[in-house]
Structure 1
């Protein structure tokens, strides 16, 4: 097995006691799977437990873990869904080999429990924990459970959920905990920054969103020259950087302040500097928006089984966001919505920010840590 171990010491963090419980976290492929795991790690470390992380050596998780005080172990993994018969066969063979490697890793590290936060790399780690007869905990942030978690729930000890209705789709005992969010988001100041200029943050997920990359430049081109000044910080995804910069080129020549990056490492800091966020509507992103107290325009991903639209509608109903879905997500509609929300006085954004923060669950990571402690026979 390729252990792929990386360790970076952060001396500001308390070292665990030699006899502390050891938990293996596993999740990757996108920020939506990695960032909840990091929030759970913080809650477990606060209990004095040891934490290690399993993921793909080629995944986003390897880069994000490189600068943290968490040992990282690489597991081979391939996507199983939607890749053709032969590819699925190879993926299942890789899954079996990786699960056996994960079992050896769990035993060698004397891991007490395994937590899977999603992504195809989480499956072999959870299976390895089950094969090693350790308690396993699944995290499911969406109202509609993913295929992997539905399958793994037949073996898992328990699941932590964001929505109560998800329990009906799983075969293991489930607890509603909310979505764990890193503490940095709760540290964002309540008050929005001074304006103008208005600052717009664009988040299409860790891989970017081609629709947003094309939609926003087209919408801004329709705004009046008399519109209040605006600056844009745009996460384009690593595959779309040059195309997105090209889409903004004419606007930049006309004076638009725009910064395009493949990936925003410090999303909490970027939210703190922003007045408004244009984003997809994944469960993790919405939890981060609520924790930071930032209003949003949400353009849900149409191919996400419908759960992104449901997530966005809930925030809109609470007064925390505005929704542009399906055929309504046009440059003209976005331009009009930006003009409405970025009105100098009275601005609707402070009320939207307050509504977002009222939806935040500060204790989600601690509740998941408590559920894990219960599985291990300790007080939650």
Structure 2
């Protein structure tokens, strides 16, 4: 039976990309889908191509009393707009992907008596999902164990994995050949906002490596600083084959080719790595609302053998050089970590999540 399903997603890629993946799976099954997001999410035009979407007013509840009052009024406007759209489209269920912009559509769903399924991308419930859990009819998780859902009926929790983009699924493949005299491919990415710390720490760490390793390195460094060209020249002069760019639009290919990734620890980044099966050095955000979430993700994945968790305060050139030297000189450490990553990957996550939605209906 054909249904109309609304997906509520925050404005970051970490929320919007899983929503996109589910949307395309549901559409392939014959359902109609609309994504309710906010201004930032609407900027992901490629992800939203061919998918109906609504841009809602949204605001965080952080700040003082005056800021909270303004935020509540903004959320109320978003709720009314979302509710009106759901009634017009005859929506039959809502899936929330977290982020404060998901509040309004989730509350609109409950005001209309629609079933609400929450999806959690991380190893710990996000602030938004924790607040919305009381209204939820089901919870889908990306990992076998997710903290913060205490008291919620375990019979209504299903592990689906975190849906990833088609370009990531298409990049799945065997771990690249690894051994003496073969190239060593290092990918350094800091998410959609890049990470200035990687531009400061990674180049001197690479320069500190033995010449035998430097001359085998093929480095892709995402960096937006004004000195990007100077960094690239410095690395080339030291024998490192390096590409320094503000953005890589072929991320699936670069992940597939990489022997090791240096990255933040966001949930979507983790899902991409696990789906393709690549080891990583995880450097969580040092501050902000996502700090604890990323820290827990990094700790969980490091404990599972997927790689290393390095707090940003400990990420010095000397420390990173020592870690890279250890990883690249061991014949087993990186291939073993790649196998651990692949074992946690859920390439069928979109299908499993769509099954959960259909069961809820």
Instruction: Give TM-score scaled by structure 1 length.
Output: 0.82
1:365 is aligned to: 350
Change (3 A) 1:36 1:287: same
Secondary structure of 1:95 counterpart: helix
- Counterpart CA distance in 2 for 1:184 and 1:367 is 18
1:93 is aligned to: 73
Note if 1:185 corresponds to 2:168. Answer: yes
- Counterpart CA distance in 2 for 1:155 and 1:323 is 35
Correspondence for 1:350 among 326, 330, 335 = 335
2:274 is aligned to: 290
1:45 is aligned to: 27
Shift in Å, 1:328: 3.2
Larger mean Cα displacement after TM superposition, 215-224 or 165-174: 165-174
Shift in Å, 1:347: 5.5
Q: Deviations over 1:94-119 (max 9, x none)?
A: 11001100001111122221211122
- Counterpart CA distance in 2 for 1:246 and 1:84 is 43
1:26–1:122: 8 Å Cα contact kept in structure 2? yes
Correspondence for 2:130 among 150, 163, 178 = 150
Larger mean Cα displacement after TM superposition, 305-314 or 214-223: 305-314
- Counterpart CA distance in 2 for 1:159 and 1:260 is 40
Shift in Å, 1:248: 4.6
Change (3 A) 1:235 1:122: farther
Note if 1:80 corresponds to 2:65. Answer: no
- Counterpart CA distance in 2 for 1:191 and 1:203 is 19
Higher relative contact order (CA 8 A, sep 6+): 2
- Counterpart CA distance in 2 for 1:97 and 1:306 is 30
Secondary structure of 1:73 counterpart: strand
Secondary structure of 1:101 counterpart: helix
Larger mean Cα displacement after TM superposition, 208-217 or 353-362: 208-217
**5 Å matches for 1:329-344?**
329-343=315-329
Change (3 A) 1:133 1:263: farther
Structure 2 unmatched runs, 5+: none
Aligned alpha-carbon RMSD (Å): 2.7
1:9 is aligned to: none
1:22 is aligned to: 4
Secondary structure of 2:99 counterpart: coil
Secondary structure of 1:121 counterpart: helix
**5 Å matches for 1:47-66?**
47-59=29-41, 61-66=43-48
Correspondence for 1:250 among 219, 229, 234 = 234
Structure 1 unmatched runs, 5+: 1-18
Q: Deviations over 1:182-217 (max 9, x none)?
A: 344344211316774322112222222232232212
Change (3 A) 1:105 1:316: same
Note if 1:233 corresponds to 2:220. Answer: yes
Secondary structure of 2:173 counterpart: coil
Q: Deviations over 1:342-375 (max 9, x none)?
A: 23x7363223222211111233322221221122
- Counterpart CA distance in 1 for 2:279 and 2:24 is 26
Shift in Å, 1:284: 2.3
- Counterpart CA distance in 2 for 1:351 and 1:42 is 33
**5 Å matches for 1:28-39?**
28-39=10-21
Shift in Å, 1:289: 0.8
Correspondence for 1:268 among 240, 245, 252 = 252
Instruction: Give TM-score scaled by structure 2 length.
Output: 0.86
- Counterpart CA distance in 2 for 1:165 and 1:347 is 32
Shift in Å, 1:327: 4.2
Shift in Å, 1:292: 0.1
Secondary structure of 1:90 counterpart: helix
